[in-house]
């Protein structure tokens, strides 16, 4: 089936540094999402993105977070600067249509460890 690829699978970074998480969504999808999962807890919505714009974000999407998809390449989540509480698994997802009942495809996640 359709695959969302996330690179890298695991990243360790010093607190205060910048990190960029990369996502290669399903090729014909236009709607992109990031979710955050702290170890042992449920996934929580961070942000959705369409046509070059953030459409909706949660309170977890702090000012230090930003997303973009320059020129149809990777959909990225940038955290600058990172904090210890940013340690989590970040899941990228994509979908083809703009309604809530469309199947969303998830990547395998990037485990971010901030030390």
Partner 1 sequence: AQKVTQTQTSISVMEKTTVTMDCVYETRDSSYFLFWYKQTASGEIVFLIRQDSYKKENATEGHYSLNFQKPKSSIGLIITATQIEDSAVYFCAMTPASSSFSKLVFGQGTSLSVVP
The residues of the shown chain that bind partner 1, judged by CB under 8 A, are 9, 31, 33, 35, 41-45, 48, 50, 55-56, 89, 91, 93, 95, 98-109
Q: Which is nearer to partner 1, 21 or 93 (CB)?
A: 93
Q: Which two tokens stand for residue 73?
A: 């390449």
Strands 110-114 and 10-13, sheet pairing: parallel
3 state SS of 72:
helix
Q: Which is nearer to partner 1, 13 or 43 (CB)?
A: 43
Q: Which is nearer to partner 1, 8 or 16 (CB)?
A: 8
Please, what is the minimum distance in Å from the beta carbon of residue 79 to partner 1?
20
CA separation for the pair 103, 8 (Å, rounded):
24
Please, what is the minimum distance in Å from the beta carbon of residue 16 to partner 1?
27
From the number of C-beta atoms within 10 Å of its C-beta (0-12, 13-18, 19+), residue 78 rates as middle
Q: Which is nearer to partner 1, 14 or 98 (CB)?
A: 98
């Amino acid at each position: 089936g359709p695959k969302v690829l996330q690179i890298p699978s695991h990243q360790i970074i010093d607190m205060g540094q910048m990190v960029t998480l990369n996502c290669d969504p399903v090729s014909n999808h236009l709607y992109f999402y990031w979710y955050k999962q702290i170890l042992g807890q449920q996934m929580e919505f961070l942000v959705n993105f369409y046509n070059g714009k953030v459409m909706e974000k949660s309170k977890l999407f702090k000012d230090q977070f930003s997303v973009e998809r320059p020129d149809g390449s990777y959909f990225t989540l940038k955290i600058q600067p990172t904090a210890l509480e940013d340690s989590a698994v970040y899941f990228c997802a994509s979908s083809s249509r703009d309604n809530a009942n469309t199947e969303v495809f998830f990547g395998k996640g990037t485990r971010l460890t901030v030390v």
